[in-house]
Structure formats: C-alpha cells, structure tokens
Structure 1
Amino acid sequence: MTLKVRILPCGLLIPLIFLTGAISAQPWSERVQDLIKNMSIEEKVGQMTQLTVDMLCEGEPYAITVPFKISEEKLEKAVIQYGVGSILNVPTGTYPGVEAWHQILTTIQDKVQESANKIPVLYGLDHVHGLSYIRGGTLFPQPLGLACSWNTSLAREMAEITAYESRAAGVPWSFSPAMDICRNPVWPRLWESYGEDVYINTVMGKATIEGFQGRDLSNKTSIAACLKHFTGYGLPLSGKDRTPAWIPERYLREYFLPQYQASIDAGALTIMVNSGEINGIPTHADKQLLTDILRHEMHFEGLLVTDWQDIHYLYDRHKIAHSLKDAVRIAIEAGIDMSMTPVSYDFADLLVELVKEGTISESRIDLSVGRILMVKEKLGLFETTHFPVTDYPEFGSERNQEISLQGAVESIVLLKNKNDILPISKDVKVLVTGPTANTQRSLNGGWSTTWQGEGADQYLAEFPTILRGVEDLIGRDLVQYAEGASIDEITDMDLALQKANEVDYIILCLGELSYTEDAGNINDLNLPDAQLELASELAKTGKPMIVILAEGRPRIIRQLAPNSAAILCAFYPGPQGGNALAKLIFGDENPSGKLAITYPQYANSYTPYDHKYTEDRDVMNSGLSFNPQFEFGFGLSYTSFEYSNLQLHNSEVSAVENLQVSVDVKNVGEREGKEVVSLFISDLVASITPPVKRLRAFEKIILKPGESTQVIFELPVQDLAFVGPENRWVIEPGDFELHVGPLRQKFRVK
C-alpha cells in the first residue's frame, strides 16, 4: 500500500505580504451598494455595533431575569432606534436548547422587518469546541486536544458537525478557530489554540474553516468562521492573559502571520483582534498591523471585529486615549469594522459624533459597513435567517457523539507505559482517585455550557466522568473511589490510601478544573502541592499507579513521573473523555495522540521544540538547557512501528521545485494502530540563526499488525523559506537535513 501526501503551500512561505498601495476597490454587490447609499450615518454606525444579548433581556446585563425574556422596549431600542448590526453570546445564567434559540433569533429578526432597511442581525457564539452554548448539541475535544490527534480530517468533520448544529439553532457565526500560536505554556488560553507549532496551527485552522464554511456559505449547513485573535495573543511575556507581548517584526512575520494568511487564502470571512498589546501598542490601535499588513499585504477583505469591550479598554486599561471618544477614533482609524461594545451604546453615539464633526470620514464608515453587509449577504441572511429545526435530524445525534468519542480517543496522549503495564485487564480491582476523577469540568474546560465551564457538571451530567467511564466499562463492583485531594487541598487522603491497599491498580486523576482568560491566570506551572502529596503517598503503597493528567496546559509533573507506571495526558478531551480514557486504559482503544506542545520539566524552562542551537547545549556541565519532560510530537502506542527506506527523489533541488520524499512504515506489533508520520527539516546554515528543526508535513496512517505502507511527501521547496534580515521571506541555497521518525537524510537547495 502506498499513501501519497502532497503538501501544498499553505501560507507559510512567501505570501506576498510586502506589497504597498491602497486597498483594492471592494467588490460589493449591487444590493450592498444600494443599501449603503440609502443608509443614514446612524444606521451605518449601528451596523458596526455589536451588543451582548443581555442588552435585549429583562433585567440588567450579567443579572438578567431567569428564565430569560426578551424585553420589547430594549429590543426596539437595539434593532429600530440604533439598528444594531450584530448580537452575541448566551443569556446570562441560561443554557438554551434549539427551540429556545429559535425563539431568540425569530424575535430579533422579526423586529428587523419593522426597520427601514430590513438588514438582518448577524448573531455569533463561541463555538470553540463544538456547540458551547446550545443545549443538546455536540461538544468535542478542545483545540489543543484536537491538535494532539494530528488528524486534519477529524478536525474538518468536527467543524462540519458544528456548523450543521449551529445552523439548526439559527446561529450563523462562530468565534473560532483560535489561531494563537502559544509559546508560553503558562498562558490560560493555551488549550484554545492548536499548540506551539506554526504548521499544525495552519493545517488544523484551515481544516476547521473548510468544515465551517463549506463550498457555499449560504447553505443551511455552513457558518462563517472567525479567526482569532489577530495576532501575537499567545505570547504574553508574563504568561498571563491580556498582558504585553514583545515580538520583533521578523519573528511576528514568521510565526504569527502565516497561519492567518493560509486561512485568509482558504476564504476565512471574519477575524477577531488580539485583546493585548505588542511592543507597547494595543492591537486594537495598531494601524500598521490591522490595515497596512492585514489589509494591504495579506489582502484580507472581510469583517474585522473587536474582542469584548476592547475599544473601551484603549481608554481605561491601556491608557493611550484621552477619552472614550478618542479611543473610538483610534480604533476606527486603525481599521476596526465592528465593535463588540457590548453592554452600552457609547460606541455608536460617539462614532456618530466623530463622523458628523468630520473627524472620521463617511467613506471610512462605508468601507466597514460594506464588509459587514457582504458577510450577511454571503451567509444568505437577506433571504433566510434561520431554517426549520426539522431540517436538521442529525442535531446531537448518536453518530455525532461517536465522532466526539473518536476525537477524544485520538486526542489523548500516552506519555509513559513502563513495562507495557497498559492496557490492563478488565477483571482487576482499581481505585479511581484524585481531584479530576469525578467532574466534567476537567474534561471540557472553558466555553462549555458556560463561559468558565463551571456549568459542565450540571448540564453535561449525562456524560460519564473518568470515574463513571471506568465503572461503566468494567463494572462498579471492581471500582473503589475516594477523592483524596481537591485541586489544591488534601481532603480524604487517608481513605484513598486505605482503599489503595484493597485494589490491584491505582488510577490517579490530576490536573485542573475549567477556566479561560483572566480566571485561568496562575503564578506557578507546578501542580499544586496537595496533588503532589497525594501522588507521593499513593506511590508508597507499592501499587502500580496510572496517572491521568486532565488539564488545559502542561502542569509540571517532574516529581511524580518517576513513581508512575503509566501517564496519560488529556488536554480537555470533551464530554466523551471519561469513556475515551476508560477504553484506552483497558485496551478497547489503542492510543495514537502525539503532543502538539513541548511538555516542560521545570516551571521556568519553556523552550519550544523549534528552538535555536544555542538553547540546546550543556552549559558549564550543568546539563542540557533543552531538557523537557516530553518532547513535541511524542506519544506512545500499544503497538510498534518500524521506519525504513527513506528516499529523496533528488538530493539537490532548486527553490522552485518540489521536494519528493518517501518512507516505508510497518506495524511490527501485535495490534492495529495509528501512527503519525512526521517530516521535520533542519536548515543547517542560514543568515538568521536557524532553529534545530521545523515541522513541515505529517500524515496519520492506520496499519494492521504486519502491514506496511509507503508514505510519500511532496513538499514545495518554498516551504523552507524564512524571514530574513530585511523582514522579507527568503530561501537561501545550502544544506538541509530531513528527519522522518529515526531516519535522517541530507539534501541541498541550489
């Protein structure tokens, strides 16, 4: 069997981002042009305004009446008086199902029909890992877990299901995927990204966009994607959310633009802006980044939306504006199209003032309004805002849950398996213990039924926790349980130790609860002392200890790793995570996940895999400076794969050719398994110090025992380019080395 993989340029290389000049004339349709001509300044600015749905509900924002009820007076103000163009979010304190969402959308869009121009409202939700806020919909692994599957086909299929189910509820816009390359694992939104690597972020993001948007955005199964958070959001120096990043332009262009370029080229319709600042300039105020680079160089013609209240923050948080009105001016001049304002009308009032006094031109407003109306037109909202629920018989279906389970299984990474202790027999007695053993929060993370995910145990109770997953698989009679410790405090550890002596194996579940954004900020990446103490005391019993890390970022496990017989890492695998972990532990499934991040060994040593040679040396006999707990791309299986016959079609190639690589892979173990065949390339000498290696291609394959296949990569040599001293993409002639599994081979670019 031969598997041929053609790796096409995907925005990594020489995307023509050094062009100058004005933005090309926008290709607005006749309908959009006519609407713009007939709209007042107030109506245009209304289209640029985005409110949270709480502004339409009885009660106050964040404290609405529950069950929620749309206020006729507030609806009139938003839709008729202000002509608001977009609404987002879920009514606070609620988790509506499809019918309730239809009620919300119908009420809003029916009101639109009373307005002069009858422009539909664009509704958006954070579908970060499936239907975060729609009861009964399907949730999947979070993006970091999905990245650890290294399965782009699965990413595309999950996005297709998300789009289908979102449209079933009438919601045509998702604030995802997050394209935030994360180079600091302390960052509390690491799990919302596809990890530390540019290429994985590029191909996973592109697959998600293709799944969301399909071939026709107006189709009843398609939604608009929103890339976020443009850009550099995942590299705060402190590791804390919405704090400053310091990114040289060369590094920005090589690591933080390519994945966006590929997604723009794939048709991404909207982009959300980074809430932080880069080099002292808040991104919402950065005209060079948002207009000169994103619009002029990268040729993005879609809708650019702020994050939550970020124009206001230019004034009262970043301190670069003298007033809120000044902040509005700065953001619009920088290139913002729509303000997620989201709990006041100040933005609209102040922007109208700025236009009427001549500070902001009406033509500048027209440009943003045209983009907004274009998105609505492409989504088919002028014809139909939502479709009958009966058109979506697969909403929340068993098949969709099977895909969720597959995603969970493939997302989990087996990091240690001493003496092949896993899988274990289903007739043994086990103790399930630890703070993440009996909660859905540690399987789902934030954006799961509620913003911080604290509602997961209430709303996702039908899905098994890790404890229940084990009980369901082997029977409750064989399972003991004691919590032992909460996230940061010892609880009934004595009971856990007592029960440990009564079983054959210990399944110790450690990690984190759910969080996102500022609520997830931490000062120490080490696991809390209570969890380490529980692990240490359980290890003293002498019983084999299987550690499950249910977490959103790689908490330090250096102290407990030597005492563990096996370690499984589950970066928020979703509601099916309990089932998936049980199936992996007891052998119903074979692990195939590989780390999409470098798992650090020390709390202040966060060197990524594509580091420089100076970061991988023995410093004064103190040991290698790059010494992670587990390397990027690492992951074990219950079977073994053998690599052989690595061949290059030509050992010398020009910059305009394709590099053709083939390798044979054989399953030499005793059970069927999936393997990620990865192609890394090292530039051995360059004018800018080269990284030790970069991931350039991969393919996930499945082989039965004894089966072999030939994997063929066809990689454009242009993909070996880097951003040189002049901040331009260059390909320099010289020697390179490719790595596939344990095999190496050199070639030359002439």
Structure 2
Amino acid sequence: MKIRQGIIMLGVLLLALGQAGAQTYKNAKAPVEARVKDLLQRMTLEEKVGQLNTLLGWPMYEKKGDIVGISATFKEEISKRHIGSFWATLRADPWTQKTLETGLSPRQSAEATNAMQKYMMENTRLGIPLILAEECPHGHMAIGTTVFSTSIGQASTWDPALIQEMASAIAVEARVQGAHIGYGPVLDLVREPRWSRLEETYGEDPYLIGQMGIAMVRGFQGTNLNSGKNIISTLKHFTAYGSPEGGHNGGIALTGQRDLYMSYLPPFRDAIKAGALSIMASYNSIDGIPCSANSFLLKDVLVKDWGFKGYTVSDLHGIPSMNTNHRVAADMEQAATMSINAGLDNDLGGAAYGDALIKAVKDKLVTMATIDSAVAHVLRVKFKMGLFENPYVDPAAVENVVATPEHIALSKKVALESIVLLKNENSLLPLSKSIKNLAVIGPNADNIYNQLGDYTAPQPEEKIVTVLEGIKAKLGTGTNINYVKGCAIRDTTNDNIAAAVTAAQHADAVVLVLGGSSARDFKTSYQATGAAEVKSGESSVSDMESGEGYDRVSLDLMGLQNKLLKSLVATGKPIVLVLIEGRPLNITWAAEHVPAIVNAWYPGQEGGHAIADVLFGDYNPAGRLPVSIPKSVGQLPVYYNYKNASRHDYVEMTSRPQYSFGYGLSYTTFGYENLQLSVNGKKVAVKFTVKNTGKVEGDEVVQLYVRDDYSSVVTANEQLKRFQRVHLKAGEAKEINFELNPEDLQLLNVQNKWVVEPGTFSVMVGGSSDDAKLNGSFTIK
C-alpha cells in the first residue's frame, strides 16, 4: 500500500512539475532567460526559423469599408511558415499602393494589429505574439501621424534634448497603434552628397551623429519597454553605408579599418551604449565582405567589443543580395548559411531564412545551436516588452495620442530650430510684416509633398502648411501676395517664368522657394527593396531627385530652376532664396548674387509656419549645418574633418566648401572670450564665456573642436568633441563648461590599440568648424 501511495504521489508531483514547466514561458514572474529557454525547447525547427523572418506587413490585413481584419495571406504565412515578425504593416505610400482611401486610419491600425495578435495567441500551437516593426525616422510612416523634419534637419537643430522629446512622441504614436519596433535612427556618416539618402542621416560628423543617435534611442525606448509608450530602436545601417563609391546607393564602401573604427563605427557604438536593442546590417560591402555576412562586425565588434544585447536584422532582401548583387553566394542556401553563421539573426523580407535555412540545418551547414541563439535574441525582446502578457493595444486611446496639438507644436519647434540662415546681406532679413506687395515664387513654395521628404505616408492637404500658406497666415490681408510657381523641380517642358518675372517686378520683395524633392508618386516603378527605379531620359518626369534610389551625378539645381533664379535676380528686386531639399545642392551662383539664403531641408508638416516665423522675425534662426555644402562636385569629398594631408586650391576654384560644417547665421551676433584649459591626468576642463553682442535675443551653438597636433598615425585636422545650443538675451553672457575625457583624445595606434598619446592638443572654440573665435592648447604628459 505504501509503495502504491508513493507511486501515486510521485506521479502527481511529476504531473505538477510538467504542468508548471508548460507554463514557464507564459509565466510573467519567471526570469526572462528561463522563459526563453523553456520556449525554445518546445519549438520545432520550422517554428524557430519562422521567428527569424520579418515579412512585408501591408498585405496582412484586409479592409472592407470601415471594418479591418486579417487577410488570407496572413493566415497562409502563419500556417506554412510560423512567421514571428512583420514590417511596415501600417505603411502607406506609392510603393505599397496604400492611399488615404485604401490604407488605415490610426484607429483602424490598432484594430488591424490587434486582429493579427489575436490570431497568433488563439490559433497557433505555442501562442507566440508578433513583433511589428515600422518605419519611424521622422514620424511613424503611417496615415494620420505627426510628420517631423527629416533627419538632416533634426541634426541641424544641434539640440539632442529636443530630438529625444521628438522621438518620444514618435514612439507613443507608433506604439498605441500596435507597433513594437521603430526603424531608426539612421546613423550613416555621409561623405558623398550625391548619394540619394543623405536626408535620412545626421550628416558628416561622428560625434554629432552619435549624440543624435543617443537622443533617438532614449526617446524611443525610454526606461521601461513594457510601458505601452515605448518602442525598440533599430539602428541603420551597419555600416559605412553613407559614403558609397560614386554615390551609388548600396555601393561598396572605400574605407580602411582605422577610419572605420574612428569615423564610421563611433555613432553606432554610442547608440548601443545608450541601450539600443536592434541593429540593421547595411547593403554594402567593406573590403570585399558584405555587411550581411560580416562576422567581424556582427560578432566581434557588436557583441564582443560593445556588449550588444539585442538582435540583428538584415536590410530588405539584404541576404539574397549576396547572390544577386555581391555574387559571393551561389544560391539562397549558401547566402542564408553565410549570414546566420556570421551573426545576422533576422531576415527582413523572408526570402532567405525559410526553406533554404531549414535545408542548411539539415545539410549540417548551420548548427541548431546557431539557430537557437538567433531565436533567443528575438524572443528575449518579446518577453522584455511584455507581449506574451499583453499583445494588444486600445483602439479607443488612439485619438488622444496620435497627432495631438502638443505633437504638432513639437513638429513646428523642430522645424524652427532646424532652419539654417546661410546669408543675410545688409540685413535683408527679417522682412517687414507691413510689406505691401510680396511675390512668392517657386516649385517648392506651395507643394506639400516636396516639403516632407522620403519615408512619408500620404497626407490630407489641409494637414500640411506650405511656405505660401505660412506667409499668408503670418501677414493676413494687409499684404498683397502674388504666387507664381515659375517652373517644376525637374520638368523642362512647361514653365511660367515670364509670369514669375512680372510678379517680381510688381513686388517689394521676392521669396523664392527652390530645391529638391523626395516626393514619390504612383507613376514611379520601384525595386523589391522599395528604392525607386531611376532611368535616364524618363518620359514622365516627377519632381523627385532625392530619396532612396535617386543618386545624382551633379548637385546642380535641376530643371529650369537656375533659369528662374537668374531671371528674378535680373529684376533687381530684393530676393530671399528659401531652399527645401534633401541634400546640399549647388548654390554657388546664388551665394554670389542673392542677398539672403535660408536652408530649411525638408521641414515637415509645420514647415510653412516655421519658415514664415523666420522670414518675418518672429523667430531668430540658429540652425547649423551638419554637412558641408560644396561649391562643385569636383571638390568631393569636402567634409570638414579630413585627415591631415595636403589640401590646396584647384586650378578652377578654391578647395574650401561654399559653407562648412557647423556654419549658420543669426539675426544677432555673438562674442567669445576668456578661454581656460585645465588638465587633470587625461581629463581636460574647458571653460569660456559666450555673449550676445547684438540687439535681439537668440541661440548660439557653441562648438568645441580638438586637434591632436602630432600623432603616431594620421588623424583629423580637427574634430568636433562638444557642442551646446545656448539661448542668450541681448547683452547676456554665459559661462560654458565642457570636460574632455580620455575617449575624446584617443586614437587607434599602429598596433591597433586605443591609446591616448602624450603630446600637445589644440583647442578651437567658436560657432563653426572654420571660424574659431578662441584658440588654445594643452599637453598630456
């Protein structure tokens, strides 16, 4: 009897343990690692591989009137492939063929993602929730969300605190609709402005890029991923993607290992240290190795050196491109094998990590341990976000979160701080609000999509404030405003330049709005990656000359814009040139002949109000260039922090850019004095005073540059190490204190060791990289 009772008790105990074990991965109180381990041991190979795929999301819902649900395609992908992630489910643009009518409102987005999660939780064997990733570089790329300035404009603010606030707003708008990951920030260092994606970056300086990256990561992720207000940040594009040979998007990167470590990698390192939990491998190759299969980057640098705790993902179809573009893999199985063994966890697009990866495991080309490691990286994120406990969002809460008045005001603030005053001869700006006759001219004066940049969803016209609308709202009925388009951005077949000249002749001043466009249209054809197909001699000419896939052979204003510009200057009227653009364009002629030039990049939905505030003196501009503006493509590369070497003038022109990194004017002036340097070991305290010496209040962006005077390897002629945006009333002075630490002074020596070498260092302080107001030096012993 006792033996029988003992057997029964043992059976009950084993059953209890089995039941408890079955619940471990669903037990919110269990440690994350225990939950990951428990779930992994329950998964089949096919289920594991499904977690390593992120498919295109917009075909996964269907919309019938106002009712939204899952599509048959979704059910089929889940049934056959056990997919664990989707990307761009809520995206709308010409590539996805989702319009304001066929796409989803913010509330419908929440309903769609809830339907997808409900199916996963109730109709799959293990009930693993989805991760839904969205594009979020300057706003969540979905219908109805707030549209901010593109990244190059964000960098022009030189205000990381503001950018963190913006990122928090983007995160909460995305999360309330069911998103979990935001693709961004783009941390590519750009030395090639012909490249089509410069607008998505923070420019040419690793320190500035790093500070903006830290701000975005902290804004996206916050301090609690389970807050319901935060999303995970996916850093793009790892690495050296922004300076391709010839400006070709996805082209090879020409960089040595030392420059890679000292220029291209630091922004990613900074963002990883700030806590980023996802990173995307770039399309390009470095020294013959595609980044999608570069174990040195994905394992040695990212994990061993930086301690990365998140998961890696390919760019869209980046793994298949090793077969089709790089030609280092003979077939999809080999491409999948190379990538996963190199440390690339997730396949965006899902063309490689499917049957080909399963076959690679069965062919013993990939171990189960490698698969488990990659799957664990993905599952860990799902557990940290609390998705197993609460995979749903509240559709009723969406209207109180998305595109609120506070977020719209924040969009305007970012636009205001991003505007760079390049020239203001004889103080033409600000214009008087009592001006009687004003001509507003140009292809970008009243075009909503040309103002918004790439990776922007369709917008209702009443939501976007153009320059013309901003000026009208500013001046009211007291000014006669005459608008003439003049010409298109690219098309040369139609123009009304004659009417523009007539309007200028009858005006007291002219606001001329030129530049570029990243506005996609439904006539453009697209590659599988979403990049535009660009063919020379296109029969149908859109305005688009920037944005992914639109690489340039020159930086000149396209179409008839220069003809329009010169015709208006010939009238003798005061001209204010406003540039709305995605890359620095050639304005050499304008810099010589136009008295006032304002660069607004792509300023977002409130751009018209922001530009009007600057033009008429309600806001004193203080944006600073995050990228140098060349005089000619023949000067390229023309970035400011070039390595010490001979740089001299050309036969035709100077080697100096038109406007250097860090440059920007104000409606007031600033003075610097009393530089003091104090060395304590390998730390240096820097102290100085900046004063508003003009008659109006304004912001100065104080910039500190350092040069290692003599070093064992070639280093930069100067390098930004600190900056601060400072608001000063007229006549006000403030003491600025910076501290340089050993990391700011180190270099990668001949033995490939990071060291701070003894010797002298020069310090330059001022408002631009080429205009030091204070100079000093210190010695490290």
Q: Same fold (TM over 0.5)?
A: yes
Maintained 8 Å contact 2:150/2:199: yes
Rounded to whole Å, the distance in 1 between the matches of 2:110 and 2:758 is 59
Q: Distance in 1 between matches of 2:71 and 2:620?
A: 55
How far apart in 2 are the matches of 1:56 and 1:718? 47
Superposition pairs of residues 100-119 of structure 1, within 5 angstroms: 100-113=108-121, 114-119=123-128
| Residue in 2 that maps onto 1:78 | 77
- 1:120 paired with 2:151, answer no
Alignment of 1:290-369 (within 5 A): 290-342=298-350, 347-369=353-375
Alignment of 1:679-694 (within 5 A): 679-694=704-719
Q: Give the equivalent residue in structure 1 for 2:742.
A: 717
Residues 1:696 and 2:721 aligned together: yes
Q: Give 3-state SS (helix, strand or coil) of 1:608's partner.
A: coil
- Structure 2 CA distance for partners of 1:433 and 1:517, relative to 1, 3 Å: closer
Cα distance in 2 between the residues matched to 1:733 and 1:355: 52
Q: Kindly state the Cα deviation for residue 478 of structure 1 after the two structures are TM-superposed.
A: 2.0
Looking at structure 2, the residues matched to 360 and 407 of structure 1 have their Cα atoms a distance apart, in angstroms, of 47
Q: Does 1:443 align with 2:451?
A: yes
CA distance in 1, matches of 2:681, 2:614: 46
- 3-state DSSP class of the match of 1:157? helix
CA contact (8 A) 1:80 1:112 kept: no
Q: Give the Cα separation in 1 of the matches to 2:433 and 2:481.
A: 11
Measured in 1, the distance between the counterparts of 2:475 and 2:465 equals 14
Three-state SS of the structure 1 residue aligned to 2:388 is coil
Separation in 2 of the partners of 1:403 and 1:313? Answer: 39
Deviation of the 1:443 alpha carbon:
1.8
Contact 2:441/2:486 (CA < 8 Å) preserved in 1? Answer: yes
Confirm whether residue 503 of structure 1 aligns to residue 507 of structure 2.
yes
Distance of 1:698 and 1:290 partners within structure 2: 31
Alignment partner, residue 485 of structure 2? 483
Whole-angstrom distance in 1 between the partners of 2:635 and 2:604: 29
Aligned to 2:228: 220
Preserved CA contact (<8 Å) 1:463 1:575: yes
Shift of 1:390: 4.2
Larger RCO: 1 or 2 (CA < 8 Å, sep 6+): 1
Shift of 1:379: 1.3
Please give the alpha-carbon distance, in whole angstroms, between the structure 1 residues aligned to 2:113 and 2:367.
Answer: 33
CA positional deviation for 1:689: 2.2
CA RMSD of aligned residues (A): 1.9
Query: Which of 552, 558, 565 is the aligned partner of 2:582?
Result: 552
Is the 2:68–2:108 Cα contact (8 Å) retained in structure 1? Answer: no
- How far off is 1:622 after superposition? 6.7
- Residues 31-430 of structure 1 aligned to structure 2 (within 5 Å): 31-57=35-61, 72-89=71-88, 90=91, 92-94=96-98, 95-113=103-121, 114-133=123-142, 135-342=143-350, 347-391=353-397, 393-428=400-435, 429-430=437-438
Instruction: Tell me, in whole angstroms, the C-alpha distance in 2 between the residues paired with 1:417 and 1:618.
Output: 27
Check 1:327–1:718 CA distance in 2 against 1; reply closer, same or farther (3 A cut).
closer
1:598 maps to 628
Q: Secondary structure at the match of 1:166?
A: helix
The answer to whether the Cα contact below 8 Å between 1:674 and 1:700 also exists between their aligned partners in 2 is: yes
Are residue 633 (structure 1) and residue 633 (structure 2) matched? no
Task: Kindly report which structure 2 residues correspond to 1:446-485, keeping only aligned pairs within 5 A, or say none.
Answer: 446-449=454-457, 455=458, 458-475=459-476, 477-485=479-487
| TM-score computed with the length of structure 1 as normaliser | 0.91
Q: Aligned in 2, Cα 1:68/1:314: closer, same or farther, shift over 3 Å?
A: farther
Residues paired across the two proteins, number: 703
Q: How does 1:707-746 map to 2 (within 5 A)?
A: 707-741=732-766, 742-746=773-777
| Structure 1 Cα separation of the partners of residues 547 and 660 of structure 2 | 26
Distance 2:728 2:395 in 1: 41
One-letter code of the match for 1:467?
Answer: L
**CA shift at 1:69, angstroms?**
6.3
Distance 1:237 1:720 in 2: 30
For structure 1, which segment, 694-703 or 94-103, has the greater mean C-alpha deviation from structure 2 after superposition?
A: 94-103
What SS is found at the alignment partner of 1:31?
helix
1:642 aligned to which of 652, 671, 676: 671
Q: Distance in 1 between matches of 2:285 and 2:733?
A: 50
Distance in 2 of aligned mates of 1:226 and 1:100: 25
Checking the alignment, whether the CA contact within 8 Å between 2:32 and 2:383 is kept in structure 1 is no
- Asked if 2 retains the 8 angstrom alpha-carbon contact of 1:687 and 1:725, the reply is yes
Structure 1 residues 267 and 518, CA gap change in structure 2 (3 angstroms): closer
Look up the match of 1:24: none
- Indicate conservation of the 8 Å contact 1:438/1:467, yes or no: yes
- Measured against aligned partners, the alpha-carbon deviations of 1:689-731 in whole angstroms (never above 9, x if no partner) come to 2322100001111111111111111121331112222333221
C-alpha distance in structure 2 between counterparts of 1:562 and 1:622, whole Å = 16
Kept in 2: contact 1:487–1:512 (CA 8 A): yes
Residues in 2 aligned to 1:184 and 1:727: alpha-carbon distance in whole angstroms = 27
Pair 1:688–1:370, CA change in 2 (3 A)? same
Q: Are residues 420 and 214 of structure 1, via their aligned partners in 2, closer, same or farther at CA, if it must alter by over 3 Å?
A: same
Query: In the aligned structure 2, how far is the partner of 1:684 from the partner of 1:442?
Result: 45
Seen in structure 2, the aligned counterparts of structure 1 residues 462 and 73 have a Cα distance that, compared at 3 Å, is: closer
Deviation at 1:553, TM superposition (A): 0.5
Note closer, same or farther for the CA distance 1:117–1:197 as it changes in structure 2 (3 Å cut): same
1:664 aligns with 2:697: no
The 5 A counterparts of 1:575-590 are 575-590=605-620
Would you say 1:536 and 2:566 are equivalent positions? yes
2:531 matched residue in structure 1: none
Counterpart Cα distance in 2 of 1:29 and 1:103: 31
Q: Which moved more, 1:122-131 or 1:432-441?
A: 432-441
Residue identity matched to 2:488: S
Please name the residue that 1:15 is paired with: none
* 2: CA distance, partners of 1:460 / 1:256: 39
For residue 70 of structure 1, report the CA deviation from its aligned partner.
Answer: 5.1
Q: Which moved more, 1:27-36 or 1:109-118?
A: 27-36
Please tell me whether the aligned partners of residues 189 and 517 of structure 1 are also in contact (alpha carbons under 8 angstroms): yes
Separation in structure 2 between the aligned mates of residue 183 and residue 66 of structure 1, nearest angstrom: 48
Q: Distance in 1 between matches of 2:258 and 2:228?
A: 42
Q: 1:703 to 1:390 in 2, by over 3 A?
A: farther
Q: What is the DSSP-based 3-state SS (H/G/I as helix, E as strand, rest coil) of the residue aligned with 2:684?
A: strand
Q: Quote how far apart the aligned CAs of 1:71 are.
A: 5.4
2:246 match: secondary structure:
coil
The whole-number CA distance in structure 2 between the counterparts of 1:408 and 1:266 is 25
How many Å apart are 1:461 and its aligned residue? 3.6
Q: Percent identity?
A: 34
1:244–1:136 Cα change, 3 Å: same
Shift in Å, 1:331: 1.2
| AA of the residue aligned to 1:462 | K
The equivalent residue for 2:681 is 654
**1:11-47 Cα deviation digits (max 9, x unpaired):** xxxxxxxxxxxxxxxx952111100011000000000
CA shift for structure 1 position 665 = 1.2
Alpha-carbon distance in 1 for matches of 2:448, 2:733: 39
Q: Secondary structure at the match of 1:176?
A: strand
Cα pair distance change 1:517/1:494, threshold 3 Å: closer
* 1:365 match: secondary structure: helix
Could you say if the C-alpha distance between residues 203 and 149 of structure 1 is closer, same or farther in structure 2, counting changes exceeding 3 Å? Answer: same
Q: Which consecutive unaligned segments of at least 5 residues does structure 1 have?
A: 1-26, 59-63, 450-454
Alpha-carbon deviations, 1:519-573, whole Å to 9, x = none? 3212211112511111111100000110011001001011222111100011111
